[in-house]
Structure 1
Amino acid sequence: MIIRLAHTSDRQAWDQYVAGHTMGSPYHKYSWGQAVQKAYGHQAQYWLAEQEGQIVGVLPCVRLKRLLGGEKYCALPFCDVGGPLAQSHEIRQLLLDRAAAEGAVILESRDMGKQGEAKQYQGNKVSMRLPLPDSSEALLASFKSKLRSQVRKAEKNGLRYETGRSEQLLQHFYEVMLVNMRALGSPVHSYKWFREIIEQYGEQCLVGVVYLDQIPAGAGIILINGEKASIPWASTKSEFNRLAPNMLLYWALLAYCAEHRITEFDFGRSTYGEGTYKFKSQWGAQPWPLNWQTYQNGQLLKTSDTDTHASTSRLKGTMKQWVIRLWRTMPLSWTAKLGPLLRKQIDL
């Protein structure tokens, strides 16, 4: 057994292993760490385990240098999942031990839990996942009539969509993100981050934009790993929400996946029972618990839901609400400049 840091020459073999692993996600691909490193300067440290020349385990990890709080190792930042993938628990532990020996004394691992009863999800973050049929026609037929009518409503309202990877689509996607993130009172990722995502993922990435005439009303990006797809970012401009751009956006991306042999669509993180959870569940998506764990020197220190991690990295109470209100009043140009400087420090 050999445990070592991965190099660019290992990229293809790494991605093949991730694509074949039952718990592999688009975030586990080699591309994610490269995008983080090139866009934000955080160092990607990707360990792999080899046996007889074959990869039998991987641990994608990023060393985050933060203005406050020093260094943090995370597997992986800016996404829902990204912990170690391995052929056995023993190999998984070897990867964690090696990471600890190389400096990752404290490491946060974002893993997927096992499905259980609804009561275990109450108040926690879950990943919403939908099995897909082999065609968009079959997918549309599987929806309830109310859902189909909402998609048709968006089209009747004059909305249309485009998908691809062009610079123009990315610019329109970012325009929607800027407006929506300011409305939420939250800093936005840098444009360079999204350009790196497109560059690193290539054909395993798709941008979707919904338009009213020539005006971007909603937009999202999906990432693909083998037969799985995830949507880490989706936004709409609130002034167009009465026209249901989010319904057309998700339909466009789901239909694309169904037509391109994707068998599972990950709608991303939601709080169980709340608004975004209900939106995603109407498409038929089912909850999977997110199990984020902290390791010290390779040994499990604690396990907690994502809300606990979020509470330690965000402002609380009245101060948080004050910051949100202030951010919402800033000119869009200010949030475009300040947002990325803050966002690179927030690993959620």
Structure 2
Amino acid sequence: MSQVVVKPLTDASINAWNHYVDHAERSTFFHRAEWKEVLKQAFGHDSHYLYAEQDGRITGILPLGQVKSWLFGNALISVPFCVYGGVVANDEGSRQALLKAACSLAEELQVDYLELRNLYQETLPEKWQRKELYVTFRKPLLATDDENLKAIPRKQRAMVRKGIKAGLSTVIEKDTHNFFYAYSSSVRNLGTPVFNQRYFDILLQAFPEHADILTVKNNDKVVASVLNFYFKDQVLPFYGGGTEHARQCAGNDFMYWELMSHALKKGAAFFDFGRSKKDTGAFSFKKNWGFTPEPLYYDYFLVKADHLPNISPNNPKYKLFIQLWSKLPLKLSQLIGPMVSKYLG
């Protein structure tokens, strides 16, 4: 058997890379090669996608994106703007080769730190440090809508029924107009800079068979909307939000219930509710649906930095910024938000 060789992803190896992702047990949607071009087109960030090869076949992958700004520093991340990442490999030799190559690249680029967003716990060398700030919520879907509704805890099920009684309806879309209105309204209210609408257009273009938008309406009025990814047998509601009207009619609750039903019809067997910070509103909301939090393992190799990064909204130094941002007029937040959010990888 020949030696493991680490190579950079090229146009010629994209199909082989994605074939590996589609069949590897621990791969996630965020390991797909299309994210490399998404990061470039939407934000202008450089990427370094590495794969291990042995005897002419891929035996491991590590997607890396570099996010560099004067405000938040310089980081090499697997994967920026995504919740999962890290090394996926067939064997320990391939995994170690990719980790060594990533550390060497981080030192060559003189980044502040290298960050791997691992879904699964990995054994790493002593120099690495771990932050357990986030959890994820994942749960199998049952065979029928009736079974899935009954599986929702009673209080949350009552919220779903409230949305049903309000006469809400849903539509599946590929246009981002309604979605962006609901999403940008929601994140502005939370004091978070919004992404450019173009980013969401790029996502739908990059993943035409793996993404759609579910929008909730009350008559012709947009109530809530969510952009979803589909990978293997999973559905991942990734970006979502509701207007002020959503709270009155349980629009967000109805939206996620309708997504479960929609995903079931598409053949999904697993609902990935996504990442949340511990002890936040989103954390509690997902627990109320009967999901059990699972720890995420974000691992760091420090290069120029002397401590772990903390660009979380929970950081006290961002408190005033968040309060002021939440008061901005919606149009202004949509205009200036992308100038900041492109660095919040």
TM bracket (short chain): 0.7 to 0.9
- Which of 233, 244, 249 is matched with 1:238 structurally? 244
- Which of 148, 153, 156 is matched with 2:162 structurally? 153
Cα distance in 1 between the residues matched to 2:226 and 2:237: 7
Cα distance in 2 between the residues matched to 1:340 and 1:14: 30
Letter in 1 for 2:34: S
- Which of 67, 71, 92 is matched with 1:64 structurally? 67
Q: Could you tell me which residue of structure 2 aligns to residue 118 of structure 1?
A: none
Name structure 2 gaps, 5 residues minimum.
Answer: 122-131
- Which of 36, 48, 55 is matched with 2:58 structurally? 55
- Map 1:30-41 to 2 at 5 A: 30-41=33-44
**After alignment, is 137-146 or 81-90 more displaced?**
137-146
Q: Does 1:216 align with 2:218?
A: no
TM-score of the superposition, structure 2-length normalised?
Answer: 0.86
Letter in 2 for 1:18: V
SS in 2 for 1:258: helix
SS in 2 for 1:266: strand
- Map 1:155-170 to 2 at 5 A: 155-165=164-174, 167=175, 170=176
Change (3 A) 1:24 1:156: same
TM-score of the superposition, structure 1-length normalised?
Answer: 0.86
**After alignment, is 201-210 or 128-137 more displaced?**
128-137
Letter in 1 for 2:178: H
Cα distance in 2 between the residues matched to 1:126 and 1:70: 24
Cα distance in 2 between the residues matched to 1:252 and 1:34: 31
- Which of 182, 186, 196 is matched with 1:180 structurally? 186
Q: Could you tell me which residue of structure 2 aligns to residue 95 of structure 1?
A: 98
Q: Could you tell me which residue of structure 2 aligns to residue 5 of structure 1?
A: 8
CA contact (8 A) 1:112 1:288 kept: no
Letter in 2 for 1:136: D
User: How far off is 1:138 after superposition?
Assistant: 3.8
Q: Could you tell me which residue of structure 2 aligns to residue 117 of structure 1?
A: none
Cα distance in 2 between the residues matched to 1:96 and 1:275: 35
Letter in 1 for 2:166: N
Q: Could you tell me which residue of structure 2 aligns to residue 120 of structure 1?
A: none
Letter in 1 for 2:220: Q
User: How far off is 1:262 after superposition?
Assistant: 2.0
Change (3 A) 1:346 1:39: same
CA contact (8 A) 2:72 2:343 kept: no
Change (3 A) 1:333 1:321: same
Q: Could you tell me which residue of structure 2 aligns to residue 125 of structure 1?
A: 134
User: How many residue pairs are counted as aligned between the two chains?
Assistant: 328
Q: Does 1:291 align with 2:289?
A: no
SS in 2 for 1:322: helix
User: How far off is 1:264 after superposition?
Assistant: 1.9
Q: Could you tell me which residue of structure 2 aligns to residue 256 of structure 1?
A: 262
Deviations 1:116-157 (A, max 9, x none): xxxxxxx94210111123443443343345444432321211
Name structure 1 gaps, 5 residues minimum.
Answer: 115-122
Cα distance in 1 between the residues matched to 2:343 and 2:133: 23
| C-alpha RMSD of the superposition | 2.5
Letter in 1 for 2:208: G
SS in 1 for 2:326: helix
- Map 1:198-209 to 2 at 5 A: 198-209=204-215
SS in 2 for 1:100: helix
- Which of 141, 148, 152 is matched with 1:139 structurally? 148
Cα distance in 2 between the residues matched to 1:97 and 1:221: 36
**Percent identity, aligned pairs only?**
26
- Which of 317, 320, 325 is matched with 2:318 structurally? 320
Cα distance in 2 between the residues matched to 1:295 and 1:152: 47
**After alignment, is 213-222 or 148-157 more displaced?**
148-157
User: How far off is 1:77 after superposition?
Assistant: 1.1
**After alignment, is 253-262 or 63-72 more displaced?**
63-72
Cα distance in 2 between the residues matched to 1:134 and 1:13: 33
Deviations 1:253-295 (A, max 9, x none): 1122222222222111123454322321233322211111112
User: How far off is 1:21 after superposition?
Assistant: 2.3
Q: Does 1:342 align with 2:345?
A: no
Change (3 A) 1:163 1:216: same
Change (3 A) 1:135 1:2: farther
SS in 2 for 1:187: coil
Deviations 1:310-341 (A, max 9, x none): x3466843x52322222122222211111001
Cα distance in 2 between the residues matched to 1:281 and 1:124: 16
Cα distance in 1 between the residues matched to 2:18 and 2:235: 14
User: How far off is 1:61 after superposition?
Assistant: 0.5
SS in 2 for 1:153: helix
Q: Could you tell me which residue of structure 2 aligns to residue 16 of structure 1?
A: 19
Cα distance in 1 between the residues matched to 2:202 and 2:212: 13
SS in 1 for 2:19: helix
Cα distance in 2 between the residues matched to 1:179 and 1:196: 20
SS in 2 for 1:345: coil
- Map 1:273-312 to 2 at 5 A: 273-296=279-302, 309=309, 311-312=310-311
